[in-house]
A and B are shown apart, each in its own frame.
Chain A
């Protein structure tokens, strides 16, 4: 069974740039959620994708967008980067309908905005 994988693991951008983060879900999982974890904070829900559609969104501006592909992998895109976007971005996969609440997390992509 393949776990959740994310890329890149680390990256540095400057203000105003755009970034794309990628996530491959765990084998058999059809739902992907993205979380932002700032230093010293808990993960904060950005949005979730199910069947290639956004299925819920947290309190994040529209410059945070995403995609889910037919193979259930996903991308998180952030436009017009701001300094406060510096954080660890976590992807988590799950199986819709199971309702167990168990999310399987990747190791994260650490974004630094200068």
Chain B
């Protein structure tokens, strides 16, 4: 079945440094990938999405490229800010008719001064 793997549960960085959060997926259908961000005590919100192979998509300084050859959709930012501290989820749109999102376990990003 469909699945999403995020290998880092916790990432701690100093402000101004680059970050990459890993996401790999498994599906037998055409992949539709999403990154959602959840700040403390808030609802998850869409950060960016993609279904196009090898095309970089960007939003709010974050970017990701869907690579179907490696089944990956890593999230990157060149210089993290304190306000980027949040829980980041990678998600895959289900191939079933529910259009549900299959979420990874999430990566908690903490940015230190």
A, B: real partners: no
Q: Which residues of B contact A (CB under 8 A)?
A: none
Q: Which residues of A contact B (CB under 8 A)?
A: none
